Amino acid sequence: MAGIKALLTLSFGAAVGLMFLTLGCALPVYNKYWPLFVLFFYILCPIPYCISQRVADNLDGGSSACKELAVFLTTGIVVSAFGLPVILARAEAIAWGACALVLTGNTVIFATILGFFVVFGSNDDFSW
Amino acid sequence: MSGFLDSIRCGDCECSAVDWGERRNTMASIAAGVLFFTGWWIIIDAAVKYPQQESFNHAYHACGVIATVAFLMINAVSNGQVRGDSYSEGCMGQTGARVWLFIGFMLAFGSLIASMWILFGGFVVPQKPVVYPGIAVFFQNAFIFFGGLVFKFGRTEDLWQ
């Protein structure tokens, strides 16, 4: 069991990341809730990798076309989560300060999700 | 003279500590993903900044769509199927795989050339006041093209089971 400490660190990371996202929306000087759309990308992000771990039986830790496709799609989701706030700021729907806060929150959240998979994901039978 | 760069070493960095063999496919997939999706976000940015037909003719989006179709076609067939040494024949066999790949690459090169044409013929030569949409179309297609190349050739099939 990877330990309570890891779980604690990861949940703290998630809380800090969501805090940055919320600040980027809810601070009175910004007060625009468009950046909440990146939550969609946060939720989508682990899905391709989880599907590929279920579908392609992981033989001896070797790679497979399915896993690589999952990595490709996950990278795309991460890039999109960074691109959306920048586009919103360029379109002047949100302020650049809000964009910076959301990008910081993105970085922390994706580091947390990555940390979750590194710490908890390397089971042989990845089952719910 | 021809060998004068042979003795230059790139610095024995810790990159050799990473098992490049096993990680190569993952790294190539990540790089391809970054390139491909950055290309699409560039065009989304241009479409958001210049929504009018006069500054950014909406027909120019077709170029990126064809580039994406080409990306999917190129990466749908494995190199093993084209060489003829994979276990499963696929729907059309080796010749079919080769024709598919040929058409895929033709579409990819075609969309790259078309994006340059759009930039120069549609924006630079007519001296449009705003050239950014043309540059965005060009970079979108260039990124998608190179993303496709990296995804196709950056991975090695030796690592597949």
Give A91-104 pLDDT, tens digit per residue: 999 999 999 999 99
B159 contact residues in A (CB cutoff 8 A): 62-63
Question: Contact A75/B159, CB-based, under 8 Å?
Answer: no
Give B33's contacts in chain A (Cβ within 8 Å): 71-76, 79
Q: For an interface test with A, which of B19, B140, B160 has the most A Cβ atoms less than 10 Å from its Cβ? A: B160
Q: Mean pLDDT for chain A?
A: 89
Domain count, chain B: 1
Phi-psi region of B84 (alpha: psi -120 to 50; beta: other; left: phi over 0): left
Choose the closest CB to A75 out of B34, B41, B155: B34
- Whether residue B137 is contained in a domain is answered as yes
The range of the structural domain enclosing residue B94 comes to 27-155
Residues of B in contact with A79 (CB under 8 A): 33-34, 37-38, 41
Is B7 among the domain residues?
no
Calpha distance B58→B76 (Å, rounded): 29
The average pLDDT across B132-146 equals 97
Q: What is the ipTM of this complex?
A: 0.87
Size of interface A-B (CB pairs under 8 A): 66
Q: Which residues of B touch A72 (CB under 8 A)?
A: 29-30, 32-33, 36, 151
Q: What angle do CA A117, A118, A120 make, to 5 degrees?
A: 60
Q: Tell me the shortest Cα–Cα distance from A6 to chain B, in angstroms.
A: 24
| Predicted local distance difference test score (pLDDT) of residue B44 | 97
Contacts of residues A90-98 at CB distance under 8 Å and 24 or more positions apart, as own/partner, are: A90/B45, A90/B48, A90/B49, A91/B48, A91/B49, A93/A32, A93/A34, A94/A24, A94/A30, A94/A32, A94/A34, A94/A35, A95/A29, A95/A30, A95/A32, A97/A24, A97/A29, A97/A30, A98/A24, A98/A25, A98/A27, A98/A30, A98/A32, A98/A35
Is residue B62, in this structure, part of any structural domain at all? Answer: yes
**Residue that wins the pLDDT comparison between B8 and A95:** A95
Does residue B34 lie in a domain region? yes
Q: Is residue B16 part of a domain?
A: no
Interchain proximity A80–B41, CB inside 8 Å: yes
- Phi and psi of A102, rounded to 5°? -65, -40
pTM (predicted TM-score): 0.86
| Residue B120 pLDDT greater than 80, yes or no | yes
pLDDT beyond 50 at B98: yes
Q: How many residues does chain A have?
A: 128
As a whole number of angstroms, the distance between CA B127 and CA B136 comes to: 16
Q: Is B57 inside a domain boundary?
A: yes
Amino acid at A25: C
Q: Percent of chain A at pLDDT above 70?
A: 88
For residue B13, pLDDT over 50 is answered with no
**Distance, in angstroms, between B119 CA and closest chain A CA?**
22
Residue B22 lies in a domain: no
Q: What is the pLDDT of residues A56-101, one digit of tens each?
A: 765 555 668 888 999 999 999 999 999 999 999 999 999 999 999 9
Disruptive mutation site among B20, B27, B29 for chain A (greatest number of A CBs within 10 Å): B29
pLDDT at A121: 72
Asked if residue B63 is part of any domain, the answer here is yes
Domain residue extents for chain A: 2-120
Strongest mean pLDDT among A16-25, B71-80, B150-159: A16-25
A57 or B127: which carries more pLDDT confidence? B127
- Say what the pLDDT of residue B17 is: 44
